[in-house]
Amino acid sequence: MTHAEMSELYELYALGVLEPELALEIERHLDEQCEYCSEHLSAALAMTAALANIAEPKAPPARLKERVLSTVRPPKAARRWSFAVVALAAACLALVAFSIASRVAMQRMQTQLAGLTEERNQLRSAVEILSRPETRTVEFGRTENVAHGRVLVNRNGGFVFVGSQLPSLGSDRTFELWLVPTSGAAPQPAGLFRPDQSGSSVHVSSIPVDARTTKAVAVSVEPQQGSSAPTTKPFLIVPLA
């Protein structure tokens, strides 16, 4: 078939109404990169595509555009929502972290404050005991390499235990002070304490210690919560006489 004979067929081919054998012949020309056929078929395709406009105009629903675009991008609202969720989650995490940190800091400060208050009260008690003329001081140890210190007793105001080179303690253990009566009765619990890292400690007790009825101040190692009677042999006995 010549190009002249085919010239009436391009539009029919573009419409898809050609019989298969004629369509095949045009396609063979196209496969051979025939410039003439390509040019004329392009023009025919443009004209038949324009025939779409003879369809009765029909506006698509407004939602269709967003539906089409949703196949290639997430909806803007979703993206905003996702961003908002992420931002909110990050803010919540930051708030929780800040809250936890604040609570921990607050607890630490409260603990420190309680410790300082206790130390202040003990110091005030110690000063009060030391300032009383009837207070007696009893030293023990007197050697640098063993536990040593002093006990200040007052028969009305209480007593102060000051110790150094005290033995180290397990985490589940504590020192417990005992007042040993002259009567031979059981020792009376007089307070718990733990030395600092250097093995030193100052403990102030408000329990009056009358040297006439109290034979000695003793210290033993006890369970963390303390005992009502010594469970171990006291490692330190300070006679008050």
Partner 1 sequence: MYADDSADSQIIERLHRRDPEGLAAAYDRYGRTAYALFVRIIHDQTAAEDLVQELFLRLWNRSREFDSNKGALGVWLLSIARNMAIDYVRSAQSRFSSRLRSMDHVDALCFSRNPTGRESRIHDVRVIQEAFGTLSADEKRVMELAYFEGFSQSEIAENIHEPLGTVKSRMRSALARLRSVITGNKGQ
Shortest reach from residue 103's CB to partner 1, in Å: 47
* Distance, CA of 25 to CA of 241 (rounded, Å): 132
Q: Does 48 bind partner 1 (CB under 8 A)?
A: yes
Among 146, 148, 157, 163, smallest CA distance to 203 is for 163
Helix (H, G, I), strand (E, B) or coil at 231: coil
By CB under 8 A, how many residues form the interface with partner 1?
Answer: 47
Q: Which residues of 86-105 are buried (b: 16+ CB within 10 A; e: fewer)?
A: eeeeeeeeeeeeeeeeeeee
Please identify, among the stretches 36-44, 137-145, 169-177, 202-210, the one whose residues bind partner 1 according to the rule CB under 8 A: 36-44
Please identify, among the stretches 32-40, 106-114, 146-154, 178-186, the one whose residues bind partner 1 according to the rule CB under 8 A: 32-40
Token readout for 83 is: 């961003």
- Using CA atoms of 218, 216, 116, 127 in order, give the dihedral in degrees to the nearest 10: -160
CA distances (Å), 156 to each of 12, 95, 205, in order?
Answer: 125, 54, 11
Nearer to partner 1, 19 or 196 (CB): 19
Please identify, among the stretches 3-11, 122-130, 169-177, 189-197, the one whose residues bind partner 1 according to the rule CB under 8 A: 3-11
Q: Does 45 bind partner 1 (CB under 8 A)?
A: yes
Nearer to partner 1, 23 or 237 (CB): 23
Q: Does 78 bind partner 1 (CB under 8 A)?
A: no
* Distance, CA of 148 to CA of 95 (rounded, Å): 52
Query: Could you tell me the maximum CA-CA distance found in the chain, to the nearest angstrom?
Result: 142
Shortest reach from residue 106's CB to partner 1, in Å: 51
Q: Does 30 bind partner 1 (CB under 8 A)?
A: yes
Q: Does 59 bind partner 1 (CB under 8 A)?
A: yes
Near partner 1 by CB under 8 A: residue from 1, 27, 131, 137: 27
Q: Does 46 bind partner 1 (CB under 8 A)?
A: yes
Token readout for 7 is: 């010239």
Q: Does 5 bind partner 1 (CB under 8 A)?
A: no
Q: Does 71 bind partner 1 (CB under 8 A)?
A: yes
Q: Quote the DSSP letter at residue 216.
A: E
Q: Which chain residues interact with partner 1 by CB under 8 A?
A: 7-8, 10-12, 14-20, 23, 27, 30, 38-61, 64-65, 67-69, 71-73
